[in-house]
Amino acid sequence: MTAMTDAVAAETVLDIQDLRVTFQTNDGPVAAVRGVDISVSKGETVAIVGESGSGKSQTMMAAMGLLSDNGRAEGRVLYRGEDILGLPLKRLNKVRGARITMIFQEPMTSLDPLYTIERQLCEPMIEHGGLGRKAAAARALDLLKLVGIPAPEDKIKAYPYELSGGQRQRVMIAMALANDPDVLIADEPTTALDVTTQAQILDLLADLQKRIGIAVVFITHDLGIVRRIADRVVVMKDGEVVETGQTAKIFDRPAHPYTRMLLDAEPEGEKPPVGEDKPIVIDGQKVGVSFAIPRGFMKPPALFHAVEDVSLVVREGQTLGIVGESGSGKSTLGRALLQLLPHSGRVHFDGKDISNAGKQVMRPLRRQMQLVFQDPFGSLSPRMTVGQVVTEGLLVHEPGLSAGERDRRACQVLEEVSLDPAMRNRYPHEFSGGQRQRIAIARTMVLKPRLVVLDEPTSALDRTVQKQIVELLRGLQAEHRLTYVFISHDLAVVRALADTVVVMKTGKVVEAGPTAAIFEAPRDPYTRDLIAAAALEPMHGRVVDA
């Protein structure tokens, strides 16, 4: 994006001064935003960057008067010189939705499920633009065309549930543009979307901004996006602005250590290769999984092929990356390999055919093949202490162990994942996301497995935490010669961890091969799209010491 000229920069449209947000909670008041100053000029794109809990979203919510009931905002929010903070609702509503509009992180739920797209698009136009129903409907159609929704004439009559996530986010953008606003606040608008959709939405926003020339405030945790679209960057941490400046300057010469840490957070390095002489740990031949979808009474269920004819081989100490967008069948494949789902084709583990083996056969093998989940909040039983969670596997596979011995093993494994063993009597909800993921990893490590299937283990975590988990996984693999099947949509992480990569789309493999080959010379157009959308930094060519 081009640098701003001084003449334009002079015209500030939105100026947030010393904004403070406090929430009244059961544990007393909590300061979420502590004195933030952000100004946005006409036609400028400002990115607010920070990890979860940095207060970046609450800053803008407070500015727009959208805090939840227990929140209170102080300070000044000037829109063209008028303080809109604490304005009576009637006056405030002249600004929001008309002059300043928003799009949100959750495209699936941000539209009212009970009304048609047309009705919802028209509402703000009728409210603020004084348009009649007919005129508004006509403009709504134009807007849908503008944001590139396929078959807009049909979609305008549709209900939100009939649209995909990307389409809904496009509708939200259309709604945001409807009244020709001065400022568009985009709160993580692409986070919930697949990478390819994400890229399309970003392109659309950038394109529209160039054409219409509105100011954009872009809230995100993703520095790749920032570099792509922002003129200026505001870095937030713990409710405060730690650094602000032109994008190029922030990326080239970050002043604050936190900014440097954020920039440094993209997983680095690559996997040292493993010799071809190592034994094969898991070998899947033409693995397929299909689900029956009931089609109503008396009709035979429809078959949905989630995974079709996937073949793969992983040797001891290797990491296989399975890459794909949501719905590509990558998680299903991982579970089928572990015999947690019935499948077609053959799966061999350590040379033994375990295809659709029964529970009795699998039980002794379970200790050697483990699974780590994406959601560190859902994968730990909320009513068990960390010690109980971690040692549950021992109850099954080493039933003779005394309670004291189990406790000792729990301490040991918690140390191994860099958690304080003194915390073993605490409950999962008392830990942060990153710590929980460490607990989940500890649960598998206590059994000293050979194969671990990692299902998006880093996707729910902030970048800096992600990096630590990647380092942990690397260390464990090197120490215990573990074999990983690493499922992820995050190409940066996969590139840093995997020996070989399988790219999946709608249940089929579109491309497979060594990591370097896939990333440097992708053959399939879909792989190319994925890589382009991920906007990876160039490889450093540095190999992590084994």
Partner 1 sequence: MLGYVLRRLFTAIPTLFFIVTGAFFLIRVAPGGPFNLERPLEAKVMENLNKIYHLDKPLWEQYLYYLGNLMRGDFGPSFVYRDFSVSELFASGLPVSVQIGASALVLALVFGTLLGVAAALRQNQPADYGVVGLATLGITIPTFVIAPLLSLVFGVWLGWLPAGGWGDGAFANKVLPVVTLALPQIAVVTRLTRGAMIEAMRSHHIRTARAYGLKPWTVVVVHALRSAILPVVSYSGPAAAALLTGSVVVETIFGIPGIGRYFVQAALNRDYTLVMGTVIVIAIFIIIFNLVVDLLYALIDPRVRLG
Partner 2 sequence: MATMDTTAAAPVRGRSLWDDALIRLKRNRAAIVSLGFLVAMALACIIGPLLTGHGYDQVYRSYVKVGPSLTPYPRAETVAPAARRALRRARVEVGEDIVIGDGIVRIPVSSEGELDQRVVRYIDRGDIFSGGRLENLSADGRSAVIVADIAQLTFLFGTDATGRDLLTRTLIAGRISMTIGLLATVVAIVIGVTYGSLSGYLGGRADLLMMRIVDVLYSLPFIFFVILLVVFFGRNFVLMFIAVGAVEWLDMARIVRGQTLTLKRQEFVQAAEALGVENIGILRRHIIPNLTGPVVIYMTLLVPKVILLESFLSFLGLGVQEPMTSWGVLIAEGARDIEGNPTMLLFPALFLTSTLFALNFIGDGLRDALDPKDR
Q: What does the binding site for partner 2 look like in residue numbers (CB under 8 A)?
A: 26, 338, 340, 362-364, 366-367, 370-371, 373, 375, 378-388, 392-393, 395-397, 404, 407-408, 411-413, 415-416, 420-427, 429-430, 440, 443, 447, 479
- 3-class secondary-structure state, position 484: strand
Minimum distance of partner 2 from residue 388's CB (angstroms)? 8
Candidates 89-97, 319-327, 478-486, 531-539: pick the segment binding partner 1 (CB under 8 A): 89-97
Minimum distance of partner 1 from residue 47's CB (angstroms)? 20
Q: Is 16 within 8 Å of 46 (Cβ atoms)?
A: no
Single out the residue of 44, 45, 84, 104 in contact with partner 1 (rule: CB under 8 A).
104
DSSP 540: -
CB nearer partner 2, residue 300 or residue 541? 300
Q: Please work out the total of residues on this chain that contact partner 1, with binding judged by CB under 8 A.
A: 33
Minimum distance of partner 1 from residue 183's CB (angstroms)? 12
Strand partners, 503: 323, 511
**Interacting partner of 69 out of partner 2, partner 1, none (Cβ under 5 to 8 A depending on kind):** partner 1
Strand partners, 532: none
**Interacting partner of 519 out of partner 2, partner 1, none (Cβ under 5 to 8 A depending on kind):** none
Q: Is 102 in the site for partner 1 (CB under 8 A)?
A: yes
Minimum distance of partner 2 from residue 287's CB (angstroms)? 17
Candidates 123-131, 231-239, 286-294, 424-432: pick the segment binding partner 1 (CB under 8 A): 123-131
Q: Is 131 in the site for partner 1 (CB under 8 A)?
A: no
Could you say which residues in the range 150-169 bind partner 1, by CB under 8 A? 159, 161
Structure tokens at 514: 């060594």
Minimum distance of partner 2 from residue 416's CB (angstroms)? 5
310-340 b/e (C-beta count within 10 Å ≥ 16 → b) = bebebbbbbbbbbbbbeebbbbbbbbbbbbe
Interacting residues of 368 by C-beta distance below 8 A, sequence separation 6+: 349, 350, 447, 449, 450, 451
Candidates 101-109, 241-249, 379-387, 413-421: pick the segment binding partner 1 (CB under 8 A): 101-109
Candidates 63-71, 333-341, 425-433, 457-465: pick the segment binding partner 1 (CB under 8 A): 63-71
Count the neighbouring beta carbons within 10 Å of the beta carbon of residue 55: 25
**Interacting partner of 371 out of partner 2, partner 1, none (Cβ under 5 to 8 A depending on kind):** partner 2
Minimum distance of partner 2 from residue 191's CB (angstroms)? 21
Find the DSSP H helices in 346-490. 359-366, 386-397, 403-416, 433-445, 463-480
Minimum distance of partner 1 from residue 353's CB (angstroms)? 44
CB nearer partner 1, residue 298 or residue 422? 298
Interacting residues of 182 by C-beta distance below 8 A, sequence separation 6+: 13, 14, 42, 79, 80, 99, 100, 214, 215
**Interacting partner of 406 out of partner 1, partner 2, none (Cβ under 5 to 8 A depending on kind):** none
Could you tell me the strand order of the sheet in which 352-353 lies? 302-315, 280-293, 344-349, 352-353
Strand partners, 47: 218, 233
Minimum distance of partner 1 from residue 68's CB (angstroms)? 7
Q: Is 245 within 8 Å of 281 (Cβ atoms)?
A: no
**Interacting partner of 381 out of partner 1, partner 2, none (Cβ under 5 to 8 A depending on kind):** partner 2
Q: Is 170 in the site for partner 1 (CB under 8 A)?
A: no
CB nearer partner 1, residue 102 or residue 531? 102
Count the neighbouring beta carbons within 10 Å of the beta carbon of residue 538: 5
CB nearer partner 1, residue 23 or residue 159? 159
Distance in Å from the first CA to the final CA of the chain:
41
CA–CA gap between residue 122 and residue 141 (Å, rounded): 10
Q: Is 64 in the site for partner 1 (CB under 8 A)?
A: yes
Q: Is 438 in the site for partner 1 (CB under 8 A)?
A: no
DSSP 273: P
Q: What is the DSSP string of 197-232?
A: HHHHHHHHHHHHHHHH--EEEEEES-HHHHHHH-SE
State how far the alpha carbon of 496 is from the alpha carbons of 184, 227, 268, 455, 540, in Å. 35, 21, 6, 16, 11
Structure tokens at 204: 């659309």
Residues in touch with partner 1 (CB under 8 A)? 64-66, 68-69, 89, 92-98, 101-102, 104, 106, 109-115, 123-124, 127-128, 159, 161, 172, 175, 296
